[in-house]
A and B are shown apart, each in its own frame.
Chain A
Amino acid sequence: MPYRNLNRRPRRLNPEHKVALLKHTFLVILAVMLFGATAAHAHDIVVIQGLHIKPYDDAVRGFRTSCDGNEKKFLLPDLGGADIVRLVREERPRLILAVGAEALKKVRSIKDIPIIYLMVINPQSMMKGHRNITGIAMNVAPERYLDLMTQISPRPKRVGVISDPAKSGYLVKRAQQAAGARGIELVVREVQTPREVPEALTSLKGRVDALWMFPDPSVVTPETVEMFLLASEENRLPIISFAGKYVDIGALAALDIDSVDQGRQAGEMAERILNGTAVADLPGSEARSTALKVNRSVAKKLGISLDTIDRLNSSR
Chain B
Amino acid sequence: MTHARTKKICSSLICACVLFASLRTPVFAATDEDLQTLGMFYEGTDLVVSATRNPKPISQTAENVTVVTAADIEMMGAHTLVDVLANIPGIQAADRGGPGAFADFTIQGADVFNILFLLDGVTLNFAGDQFVDIGAIPVQNIERLEIIKGPASSSWGSALGGVVNIITKSPIEDKKLGGALSFSAGERETRDTRGEAAGTLGQFGYYLYAGNLTSNGFRPNTAVDQNNLYGKLRWELPNRGSLQGTIAYDRGNVGDGDTGALGFFSRLHKQYILSTASFTYPVNDKIDIDLSLRLSQKRTDDSAMDLSGAPLPPDFTANEFDTGGSAKLVWREGKNNLAAGADFDHLRLDDTGFSGSVKLYSDKYGLFLIDTLSFGDVAVTPGIRYDRMRQVGDFYSPSLGVAWALNDTTILRIYGARGYSLPVLADDATQQKVLTAQAGLETARIPYLWLKTTLFWNRLTDVHSFDSNGNATLVKQRKQGVEVEGRTVPLFNTSLSAGYTFVDASDLSTGETLLNVPSQIVKLGVHYDDKSSLRGALLGRYVWYNASFDNNARDKAFIWDLNLAKKVVEVRGTAFELFFSAHNLFNGAQYSADFNKNVRRWVEGGIRCNF
Contacts and interface: CB of A to CB of B under 8 A. Distances in A.
Interface of A: 1-13, 15, 18-19, 22-23, 25-26, 29-30, 32-33, 36-42, 50-55, 74-75, 77-83, 86-87, 89-90, 92, 94, 100-102, 108-109, 111-113, 119-121, 125-126, 128-129, 138, 192-193, 215, 217, 220, 242-243, 245, 257
Interface stretch (B333-341, B506-514, B601-609): B333-341
A32 B68 CA distance: 33
A83 B167 CA distance: 10
A19 to B, nearest CB: 6
Contact of B50 (A26, A52, A79, A245): A52
Contact of B472 (A3, A9, A217): A9
A243 B394 contact: no
Contacts of A215: 37, 40-41
B48 interface: yes
Nearest to A4: B129
A193 B318 CA distance: 55
Interface in B409-449: 418, 423-424, 426, 428-430, 444
Contacts, number: 255
Contacts of B58: 82-83, 86-87
B46 A54 contact: yes
Contact of A11 (B34, B428, B444): B428
Given A38-B334, A81-B68, A81-B144, A12 B40 contact: no
A113 B174 contact: no
A53 B332 contact: no
B428 A126 contact: no
Nearest to B29: A51
Given A8-B424, A8-B472, A220-B40, A2 B49 contact: no
B467 interface: no
Interface stretch (B206-214, B370-378, B521-529): B370-378
Given A40-B334, A52-B50, 6 more contacts: A37-B334, A40-B373, A83-B167, A94-B285, A102-B32, A217-B36
B257 A2 contact: yes
Contact of B33 (A2, A54, A101): A101
Contacts of A25: 384, 396, 398
A15 B334 contact: no
Interface in B87-137: 102, 113, 126, 128-129, 131, 133
B572 A193 contact: yes
Given A3-B129, A8-B464, A52-B50, A29 B384 contact: yes
B173 interface: yes
A82 B52 contact: no
B174 A126 contact: yes
B38 interface: yes
A207 B175 CA distance: 36
Given A13-B474, A55-B46, A81-B67, A245 B41 contact: yes
B72 to A, nearest CB: 7
Given A80-B56, A245-B43, A53 B48 contact: yes
25 contacts: A2-B256, A4-B316, A5-B470, A10-B424, A15-B393, A26-B398, A29-B383, A33-B382, A36-B336, A40-B374, A51-B35, A53-B38, A53-B46, A53-B47, A55-B42, A78-B55, A80-B54, A83-B58, A86-B59, A92-B285, A92-B332, A102-B33, A102-B34, A120-B37, A125-B174
Contacts of A100: 34, 37
Nearest to B357: A6
Contacts of A36: 334-336, 371, 373, 380
B53 interface: yes
Nearest to A244: B41
A121 B474 CA distance: 64
